[in-house]
């Protein structure tokens, strides 16, 4: 649902650009199924280019190894090694520099082929440091990674706080209600937060009168007849 809305926004903007170019309008046809298929991304292309349906890998990447979640001494973190140089740096931080020269793991192609051998070795190593220790040491080494947070940890994250992603808005019945801020940041026309989520039917009359142009009498008739 969310991604179809985002794709729809892109489609609307494209249609508006077309209208501005030659003045013609058009019909936009969006389907949740189409968006689901489009979002399969690399998994879809893996099938289309090989004819082999991908197997379940949990949070692991089908084409890059290691690129998945790993346990730590106090939780879990995500490790996203993107190339052989990063793998060598990771192996050094993990105290296993020999992994980078192992003929089974020297290149990403080999690591994908020998995933079943490598992943258990990494899991055995990652449990000896905390999530914070792994993230700090790997970031220092230039290896992409990050903590796997629950929602409490996520909203307590310093960067999430700095970006102001948790906000509150006044509500007619509930006082101040929590909301998630928009991720869209515009320098000239920033997002404004004016209203909390509406009550059921709160804006029905406003929509009928201001948007559809119905007068108060017509709206009253709809209400009396049970339409509203």
Residue 11 domain flag: yes
pLDDT of 53 above 90: yes
Q: Which residues are catalytic?
A: 1
Segment 54-95, tens digit of pLDDT: 999 999 999 999 999 999 999 999 999 999 999 999 999 999
Q: Which residues lie closer than 8 Å to 141 by C-beta, 6 or more apart?
A: 89, 90, 92, 93
Both 30 and 80 in one domain: the answer is no
Which run of H or of E encompasses 171? strand 166-171
Residue 138 domain flag: yes
Q: Which pLDDT belongs to residue 222? A: 85
If you average pLDDT over residues 99-118, what whole number do you get?
98
163 against 218, higher pLDDT: 163
The angle subtended at Cα 214 by Cα 212 and Cα 217, nearest 5°, is: 160
Q: Which pLDDT belongs to residue 228? A: 81
pLDDT of 97 above 90: yes
Both 142 and 77 in one domain: the answer is yes
pLDDT of 165 above 90: yes
The angle subtended at Cα 74 by Cα 71 and Cα 80, nearest 5°, is: 40
Residue 76 domain flag: yes
CATH of the domain at 87: 3.30.1540.10
Both 99 and 76 in one domain: the answer is yes
Residue 107 lies in domain:
67-148
Residue 103 domain flag: yes
What's the pLDDT band for 196 if we cut at 50, 70, 90? confident
Residue 26 domain flag: yes
pLDDT of 227 above 90: no
Pairing of strands 145-147, 166-171: unpaired
Q: Which pLDDT belongs to residue 156? A: 97
Last residue of a domain, one of 100, 121, 148: 148
If you average pLDDT over residues 120-131, what whole number do you get?
98
Both 132 and 103 in one domain: the answer is yes
What's the pLDDT band for 210 if we cut at 50, 70, 90? confident
If you average pLDDT over residues 170-176, what whole number do you get?
89
Residue 210 domain flag: yes
CA-to-CA distance for 47 and 50, rounded, in angstroms?
A: 5
Both 81 and 142 in one domain: the answer is yes
pLDDT of 41 above 90: yes
Q: Which pLDDT belongs to residue 136? A: 97
Both 116 and 81 in one domain: the answer is yes
Kindly report which listed range (60-69, 110-119, 134-143, 187-196) carries the lowest average pLDDT score: 187-196
Both 80 and 143 in one domain: the answer is yes
CA-to-CA distance for 32 and 153, rounded, in angstroms?
A: 32
Q: Which pLDDT belongs to residue 40? A: 95
Which run of H or of E encompasses 179? strand 175-180
Domain count, the chain: 3
Residue 191 domain flag: yes
Both 135 and 208 in one domain: the answer is no
């Amino acid at each position: 649902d969310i991604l179809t809305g985002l794709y729809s926004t892109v489609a609307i903007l494209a249609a508006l650009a077309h209208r501005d170019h030659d003045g013609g309008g058009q019909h936009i046809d969006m389907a949740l199924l189409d968006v689901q298929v489009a979002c399969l991304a690399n998994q879809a292309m893996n099938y289309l280019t090989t004819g082999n349906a991908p197997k379940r890998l949990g949070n692991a990447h089908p084409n890059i190894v290691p690129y998945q979640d790993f346990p730590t001494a106090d939780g879990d973190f995500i490790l996203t090694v993107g190339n052989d140089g990063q793998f060598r740096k990771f192996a050094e931080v993990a105290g296993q520099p020999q992994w980078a020269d192992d003929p089974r793991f020297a290149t990403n192609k080999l690591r994908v082929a020998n995933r079943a051998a490598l992943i258990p070795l990494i899991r055995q190593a990652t449990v000896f440091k905390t999530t914070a220790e792994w993230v700090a040491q790997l970031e220092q080494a230039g290896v992409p990674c990050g903590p796997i947070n629950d929602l409490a940890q996520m909203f307590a994250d310093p960067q999430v706080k700095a970006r102001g992603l948790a906000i509150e808005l006044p509500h007619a019945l509930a006082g101040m209600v929590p909301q998630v801020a928009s991720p869209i940041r515009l320098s000239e026309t920033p997002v404004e937060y004016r209203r909390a989520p509406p009550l059921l039917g709160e804006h029905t009359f406003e929509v009928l009168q201001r948007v559809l142009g119905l007068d108060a009498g017509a709206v009253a008739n709809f209400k009396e007849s049970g339409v509203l």
